[in-house]
Amino acid sequence: MNQEKEPKKKKEENKVSSIYLKLQRVQSEIKELIRTEENKAQRYFFFNELQVLKHLKPLLDKNKLLILASDDESKEFKQEKVDKFYLVQYWKRMEIINAELPEEKVSFSFVAIGQNNDPAKAKGSAETYALKYFLSKLFLIPVKDEMDPDYSPREDYVPKEQVQNKTASQKTTTSDQAQELMNFFFKKRGDSREIQTNFMKEVDKLMPKYGIVGETVPANLRGRVGSLKDEDYQSL
Please give the chain's pLDDT, 236 residues, in tens: 455 555 555 554 457 889 999 999 999 999 887 776 666 665 667 777 888 888 899 999 999 999 999 999 999 999 998 888 899 999 999 999 999 999 999 999 999 999 899 999 999 989 998 998 899 889 988 877 544 444 444 444 444 344 444 433 445 556 566 666 666 666 545 556 777 778 888 888 887 777 677 778 776 777 777 777 777 767 76
CA 27 to chain centre: 16
DSSP one-letter string for 11-74: HHHTTSPPHHHHHHHHHHHPPPB---EEETTTTEEE--HHHHHHHHHHHHHHTTEEEEEEE-TT
Q: What's the CATH architecture for 17-146?
A: 2-Layer Sandwich (3.30)
* Nearby residues of 15 by Cβ (< 8 Å), 6 or more positions away: none
How far apart are the C-alpha atoms of 140 and 135, rounded to whole Å?
8
Cα-Cα-Cα-Cα dihedral sign, residues 58, 108, 226, 146: negative
Q: Is 171 left (phi over 0), alpha (psi -120 to 50) or beta?
A: beta
Residue type, 79: Q
Instruction: Write down the domain spans for the chain.
Output: 17-146, 156-236
How far apart are the C-alpha atoms of 130 and 115, rounded to whole Å?
13
